Amino acid sequence: MAIKEAGNVKRFLPSEFGSDVERVHTVDPAATLYAGKLSLRRLIEAEGIPHTYVCCNGFAETYLPSIGDVTAVGAGPPSDKITVLGDGDAKAVFVVEKDIATYTVRAVDDPRTLNKILYMRPPANIVSHNELISMWERKAEAAFPLNILLSLALSIFIGGDQANFEIEPSFGVEATELYPDLKYTT
């Protein structure tokens, strides 16, 4: 690997942004995408490359304008109906992009994130689809490839894969616990 040959990379943060590829249960085409990411993880670890995998879960500015309706992502809020996957009660995690950037930058030199997974699961941002709809009914306003989003949404909104596991210290750390001084956007 070029990173190993260069010999001067202090920390590698591969494009892991999204759900944890080892803890979601998805279908194709997302399953094929995640299998590639998982292979890259194993290679990084086998080569002894210092790394931090960043799992920020759902990009708020991608999913929330359509109120989590992946069939309407990019179209804005639904005007008369919304597609709810499953019963709508599985919890999902949504993080605003500027918060993702802030936590990622903070983690780059943090020894607590070395060779770990940095999970972004701000407690106030773990909500079900039904809760999102209820919030939308009380408020308003906000603004992406459908087949991948839909297959990911199945694991998120039916399986609850983003918020349905304990973060074990042997493999990961949670961003809001590491950096309680950062005020995330709810």
Q: Which residues are catalytic?
A: 37
Q: CA triplet 61, 80, 27: central angle to 5 degrees?
A: 55
> Residue 152 is encoded by which pair of tokens?
């990911």
What is the maximum span of the chain, computed from C-alpha positions, in angstroms?
A: 56
What secondary structure does DSSP assign to 1-28, as a single string? -HHHHH---S-B--S--SS-TTT----T
Strand runs labelled E in the chain: 52-55, 58-59, 91-95, 116-119, 126-128, 172-174
Cis status, amide bond into 78, omega within 30 of 0:
no
Q: How far is CA 136 from the centre of its chain?
A: 22
Residue 138 has a CB neighbour count (10 Å cut-off) of 6
Q: Are 172 and 118 in contact (CB under 8 A)?
A: yes
